[in-house]
Amino acid sequence: MRVGFGYDVHRLVAGRPLILGGIEVKHELGLLGHSDADVLLHAVCDAMIGAAALGDIGKHFPDTDPEFKGISSLVLLRRTGELLREKGYCLRNIDSTIVAQKPRLLPYIPQMAAKISDTVGLPVDCVNIKGKTTETLGFAGREEGIAAYAVVLIEDIVK
């Protein structure tokens, strides 16, 4: 078994949809990024890549590559899952936290978990997502951005 940790953060801006966990969340601001800027999926991808000691998300999906301009992070998550399988690993579970003062995320979490589950082929009861505020402290508390953390467990199925 191997454990990976991921983190991502993006700035909130007007004029973009807010995509978290592969779904659109109703909010007046969205996240700025080269792709759809889905901080949750980026953190999960980074954790998966890290667990396999394969670098980080920027190595595999650089923000300088036009192929990834505006891409759905669900595509990046699917490709990351494929990369793990090619290297002989099986994803076993995901635990994650989204840090945002607003919007309230609880109503969206089941749909996010189902979307992630479907994308990586993991049972939905092996995908956990938590939404946390910062009690108005820091950049997330001032609603300047949203961050996400993820921890994954993978198993080496070749050895």
Predicted TM-score (pTM) of this structure? 0.96
Residue 158: its pLDDT value, please?
78
Domains by residue range for the chain, with CATH:
2-156 (3.30.1330.50)
Residue 66: its pLDDT value, please?
86
Q: Which residue type does 33 have?
A: G
pLDDT at 121 over 80: yes
